[in-house]
Structure 1
């Protein structure tokens, strides 16, 4: 926490501790001011970007991402983060706070760190709520029907880009094995948050294609976690921890399957609790308790919190209160989800695209190769679907393309480990940025060419509804 407790610490008689505690207590209101000002910028950016994108007939989430780039490290420096290599002096908001409050450089640096952590936590809450909402909007019965298809799509979507990317880097660019494996692993990612949001905005989430994409993205996330654990272990020790890999496979499978199989028990308990509660929030508070607990379990067993939240949404989708719950969650999602999308854009440094900088040129050449593999390696997954006549295979493949925040995680870990060279790191970041921004409009185009869903499936809603989310 960034706030210092008001109750004196037992060791407060020690001068250094007392001094630090006093300094933090004095800075706490300024941290809050910085957070509030950052949220003002984020919300303005998300609405302006979303409205412009909607006006141009693109998915609003694309506008939020672009707006994030504008206010982030690539342009205005209003929303920046230390993890991107930024200092407090690079932040316009921190400069304003320093001018207003007459802060020392040390105090500004501390406030910048704390404020960035709060915004990052809010963004994480945003993607957790987004995945919970997507789980609620998904049809568990239909998801089960396409389960094996989604598994095939996910496996192809991991194997093809990983193998092609790793082999290509080693043979064409003579990249050493471990960095090439790291870059190949970054190609396996799929951002379920971005793809599912676009599907929801297009009214295609409950279509057969949408369910295959979402199911495959969830499985892809699990496989991505396992791949990340393997290569992180390889980067640290030069050896793969087989026991850890087996643990991840077993725990991920047991978690997802167990959540679905025990769904009936969870549903009955949830309904019984809701019927006994008579105060405000009798539905939404128990739902969030369950969602956050499932997200906690996902993190506790070294998976991802978003997988737990998605599983919680799938389970509660079967309850009688599902429609009412869905409406109650929308305004909460409207508050927190834009923070996630804007911060994804804000963290993306488009400076790596500048060929005038000599060290970027080698990265740009490698980036062209990685982008081609990143797109082709996911698009081919649509043709891995069998026994589904008339299905939009192009839409399925395009839906798996965006790497988003998941790809940035791979790049970040690779950079922190010292495995990646600057050109290769820049190439991965360029690949992540372009696949993230290209996927939403191309997914719209791909679905625009598909026939109307057959009777019994959800018809697409007008894109105008998308701006509300």
Structure 2
């Protein structure tokens, strides 16, 4: 066996072993009542430490894991889009909008102020942190709500509405940031407003074109395609065709200058309007469970061990700001509409930062030190891990101590 074939065999062995370990990690973290993403991050970091010692990945290994991480993020955001209910959201928009606006502006502002003025970071890294702060990983918290059978309460439904708005705005802000950051870097901050205005204008024009494409596809072609897939194949095979089209749409977004992750989200939205397509979602679970862990493992692989220790202090400051931002930004407006109980529950539930936060920081790291340094990246990994661990623990305690939560939506 030649050397290249042997290297490939070893890498396949490694990918298979990590896939198996990921399943065990998910089961173990579930038993502990903790999100599995924390275990995936740790696994990726341990893999980085092992590779630093024995150099077994090499360039081919790095490329394979980067590809699997990219497929993982496409799978993740495709599912976020697929599970979105835009029609249902529009009916409940008024009661969620005030909370969502407070959440976005308080967290974005606090993230930028903390980074730029308190930590003394440059303008562009501070922008990345600000946008990363606006995101929420409500999936980390929603499992606790489901355990307590209060997801259909007035607070649970309000949380889901706010989180859905948060997901959509987070993806849009992320796409805009990816467009304007390189333009600001190339021109400098001296001509900041003209650069942002011009780049934003081009971005929104491209977004309208891509959005129109997605709408036309969703309106006139999606139902016919899913009907055709159901006719020629029995479940779960039709979902594979849906996923394939989702990947094509994601690639088109990448070719237009957007992130493929953005394209994956909109691909999910394309199929979310069709109840028949959403029924296929259960058959998507296996693909999702296979590839999504590689995104978080890839994040762990990118953590520079030497930067992690130096980032703990910065991570602690950003962690405090991240927690306060959600408690004030989401909890404050909720207090005015539902009272202290709703404010506490929704504020804590919105604290976790995971998927979109790490996509933003990972993209910044790939752009270079001018966007996100190794230290900043490691600090935000600390924020993601700690908020994802602490929020469910505190939320479970709150749900157990609070009086019975009323069901039904209050208007």
- Normalised to the residue count of structure 1, the TM-score between the two structures is 0.69
Aligned to 2:166: 216
Aligned to 1:271: 226
The 5 A counterparts of 1:404-443 are 404-415=358-369, 417=370, 425=373, 427-443=375-391
Between the aligned partners of 2:367 and 2:44, the Cα distance in structure 1 is 22
Aligned to 2:16: 40
1:143 to 89, 104, 121: 89
2:256 to 293, 301, 304: 301
On the 8 A contact 1:122/1:336 being kept in 2, the answer is: yes
Deviation of the 1:281 alpha carbon: 6.2
Q: Does 1:231 align with 2:181?
A: yes
On the 8 A contact 1:158/1:223 being kept in 2, the answer is: no
Between the aligned partners of 2:115 and 2:288, the Cα distance in structure 1 is 41
Aligned to 1:284: 239
Higher relative contact order (CA 8 A, sep 6+): 2
More displaced stretch, 52-61 vs 261-270: 261-270
On the 8 A contact 2:141/2:349 being kept in 1, the answer is: no
Instruction: Provide, for residues 360-402 of structure 1, a one-character-per-residue CA deviation record: whole Å limited to 9, x for no partner.
Output: 3xx5554443333333234433146568536443145314577
Between the aligned partners of 2:90 and 2:210, the Cα distance in structure 1 is 16
On the 8 A contact 1:408/1:432 being kept in 2, the answer is: no
Q: Does 1:189 align with 2:138?
A: no
Between the aligned partners of 1:114 and 1:151, the Cα distance in structure 2 is 47
Q: Does 1:394 align with 2:347?
A: yes
Aligned to 1:59: 35
On the 8 A contact 1:72/1:346 being kept in 2, the answer is: yes
On the 8 A contact 1:213/1:399 being kept in 2, the answer is: no
On the 8 A contact 2:318/2:379 being kept in 1, the answer is: yes
On the 8 A contact 1:154/1:220 being kept in 2, the answer is: no
Aligned to 2:56: 93
**What SS does structure 1 have at the residue aligned with 2:132?**
coil
Which runs of 5 or more structure 2 residues have no equivalent in the other structure? Answer: none
Residues 1:30 and 1:181: Cα distance change in structure 2 (over 3 Å): same
More displaced stretch, 48-57 vs 206-215: 206-215
Which runs of 5 or more structure 1 residues have no equivalent in the other structure? Answer: 1-24, 78-85, 95-111, 355-359, 458-469
Residues 1:308 and 1:234: Cα distance change in structure 2 (over 3 Å): closer
Residues 1:291 and 1:383: Cα distance change in structure 2 (over 3 Å): same
Between the aligned partners of 1:191 and 1:158, the Cα distance in structure 2 is 5
Instruction: Provide, for residues 7-30 of structure 1, a one-character-per-residue CA deviation record: whole Å limited to 9, x for no partner.
Output: xxxxxxxxxxxxxxxxxx966524
On the 8 A contact 1:126/1:337 being kept in 2, the answer is: yes
Q: Does 1:76 align with 2:18?
A: no
Between the aligned partners of 2:350 and 2:260, the Cα distance in structure 1 is 25
Cα RMSD for the two superposed structures: 3.8
- Normalised to the residue count of structure 2, the TM-score between the two structures is 0.77
Q: Does 1:126 align with 2:90?
A: no
Between the aligned partners of 1:150 and 1:273, the Cα distance in structure 2 is 37
On the 8 A contact 1:182/1:414 being kept in 2, the answer is: no
Instruction: Provide, for residues 175-205 of structure 1, a one-character-per-residue CA deviation record: whole Å limited to 9, x for no partner.
Output: 47xx14423432321697x926535655469
Between the aligned partners of 2:222 and 2:406, the Cα distance in structure 1 is 30
Residues 1:236 and 1:162: Cα distance change in structure 2 (over 3 Å): farther
Aligned to 1:373: 321
Between the aligned partners of 1:255 and 1:170, the Cα distance in structure 2 is 34
On the 8 A contact 1:222/1:252 being kept in 2, the answer is: no
Between the aligned partners of 1:429 and 1:334, the Cα distance in structure 2 is 25
On the 8 A contact 2:271/2:278 being kept in 1, the answer is: no
Between the aligned partners of 1:220 and 1:248, the Cα distance in structure 2 is 16
Query: Considering only CA atoms, is the larger Rg found in Structure 1 or Structure 2?
Result: 1
Aligned residues: 386
Between the aligned partners of 1:187 and 1:414, the Cα distance in structure 2 is 18
Residues 1:373 and 1:200: Cα distance change in structure 2 (over 3 Å): closer
On the 8 A contact 1:230/1:245 being kept in 2, the answer is: yes
Deviation of the 1:39 alpha carbon: 0.8
Residues 1:406 and 1:135: Cα distance change in structure 2 (over 3 Å): same
Aligned to 2:140: 198
Between the aligned partners of 1:199 and 1:222, the Cα distance in structure 2 is 23
Deviation of the 1:273 alpha carbon: 1.6
Between the aligned partners of 1:140 and 1:288, the Cα distance in structure 2 is 20
Q: Does 1:313 align with 2:268?
A: yes
On the 8 A contact 2:128/2:360 being kept in 1, the answer is: no
Aligned to 1:334: 289
More displaced stretch, 28-37 vs 329-338: 28-37
Residues 1:46 and 1:279: Cα distance change in structure 2 (over 3 Å): closer
